[in-house]
Amino acid sequence: MRRQHAARRAGEFPPPAEPLPIPVVDSHTHLDITVTEPGAPGDVAEFVALAAAAGVDRLVQVGTDVESSRWSAALAAEHGAVVATVALHPNEAPRLADLDEALREIEALAGQDRVRGIGETGMDTFRTGDAGRAAQEESFRAHIAIAKRYAKPLVIHDRDAHADVLRILDEEGAPQTVVLHCFSGDAEFAAECVRRGYLLSFAGTVTFTSATALRAAAQITPIKQILVETDAPYLTPMPYRGRPNASYLIPLTVRGLAEATGADLDELCAAISATGDRVFGPW
């Protein structure tokens, strides 16, 4: 599904960004897709090395279906700079012939030491219509239960579904740690998430000219509840929007966040690094 959308991007991978003064974590990337992009500068090891040179020395590789979750877990077992999360993407759940069996596969991976989170799961009313909503919600509730059983953070995909995400988390009882991947809400929604103790992970979208509401959300988020991510190869920060993304471009997002929030760059990097270790570490 996501590989099909990848064909819509154009252009070469951007040049390396100016390194950050303190290394941070890319809390959400898809190396399995990134390495298949046309013009990719190398294999996984090369992308990891490029990220480290830019001050992004830890990566969270995210699963979106059974196959990619297995791949993510195996990669994390081999690369010291990478940990994994495993899950069924919310748009994947309605397409499965046997959702229960797929969830059993995810749970079987969840106990591995290098699997450090359950996600990305959640709700998406942008791509999944009414017919798929029940399966999507069933899958989300099951992932919440898996995260609680294994005491691992829950990584949430939320697209046009803010109210449903909060409702289901409130009904089920959220795990101790919840990460809103690629946070896309406004300041009002951010305040609700912050009040619940959730972490907000900001992607390159926070640098987009049109993202005024998103920057307002970042401004009211305590620095200790902020993470950053690429969602690579998607959501490339400015000035390279529309080109393939990779973890070595995180510095553009971090500097955009610092500018939007008025935070000192060193302080912001140190906070993101510490939060990444607290949520997903130790590496």
pLDDT digit string, tens, across residues 255-264: 999 999 999 9
pLDDT class of 68 with cuts at 50, 70, 90: very high
Distance, in Å, from the CA atom of 218 to the CA atom of 56, rounded to the nearest integer, reads: 21
Measured CA to CA, the distance from residue 172 to residue 151 in angstroms comes to 15
Q: What percent of the chain has pLDDT over 90?
A: 93
- In this predicted structure, the answer to whether residue 183 has a pLDDT above a threshold of 70 is yes
Separation of first and last alpha carbons in the chain: 30
* Whether residue 5 has pLDDT greater than 60: no
Q: In 3-state terms, what secondary structure has residue 15?
A: coil
Q: State how far the alpha carbon of 97 is from the alpha carbons of 1, 103, 105, 135, in Å.
A: 16, 12, 14, 11
User: Among 39-48, 101-110, 126-135, 192-201, where is mean pLDDT lowest?
Assistant: 126-135
- Residue 15 belongs to some domain of the structure: no
Cα–Cα separations (whole angstroms), residue 176 to 39, 43, 70, 150: 40, 35, 25, 11
Q: Are 213 and 186 in contact (CB under 8 A)?
A: yes
Residue at 249 is within a domain: yes
pLDDT, mean of residues 116-143: 91
Amino acid at 87: A
18 is known to lie in a ligand binding site: no
Q: What is the pLDDT of residue 251?
A: 98
The predicted structure's pLDDT at residue 9: 64
Tell me the whole-structure pTM to 2 decimals: 0.95
The answer to whether 120 is a known ligand-binding residue is yes
Q: Is residue 1 part of a domain?
A: no
Average pLDDT, stretch 173-199? 98
Residue 113 has pLDDT above 90, yes or no: yes
Q: How many folded domains does the chain comprise?
A: 1
CATH number of the domain enclosing 147: 3.20.20.140
Is the Cα dihedral 175, 181, 253, 233 positive or negative? positive
Contact between residue 260 and residue 218 where contact means Cβ atoms under 8 Å apart: yes
pLDDT band at residue 117, thresholds of 50, 70 and 90?
Answer: very high
Q: Is 79 annotated as a binding residue?
A: no
Residue 224 belongs to some domain of the structure: yes
Identify the residue whose tokens are 């302080």. 267
The verdict on residue 16 lying in a domain is no
Say yes or no to pLDDT of 10 above 80: no
Separation CA 102–CA 66 (nearest Å): 7
Domain assignment of residue 184, given as a range: 21-280
Number of CB atoms found within 10 A of residue 169's CB: 21
**Dihedral over Cα of 37, 39, 43, 46: its sign:** negative
DSSP code at position 270: H
- Say if residue 54's pLDDT is above 80: yes
Q: How much is the average pLDDT of 107-131?
A: 92
Flag whether 11 is in a domain.
no
Secondary structure class of 195 (helix, strand, coil) = helix
CB 38 within 8 A of CB 3: no
- Which parts of the chain are beta strand (E)? 24-29, 56-62, 82-86, 115-124, 154-159, 178-180, 199-202, 226-228
CA distances from 6 to 10, 68, 244, 273 (A): 9, 16, 9, 29
Mean of the per-residue pLDDT values for the chain?
Answer: 95
Q: Is 28 annotated as a binding residue?
A: yes
Residue 199 has what pLDDT? 98
Could you tell me the pLDDT band of residue 3, with boundaries at 50, 70 and 90?
very low
Q: Which amino acid is at 267?
A: E
Within 115-161, residue ranges assigned H as helices are 130-150
Say if residue 220's pLDDT is above 80. Answer: yes
Q: Is the pLDDT of residue 235 over 60?
A: yes
30 among annotated binding-site residues: yes
Residue 131 pLDDT greater than 90, yes or no: no
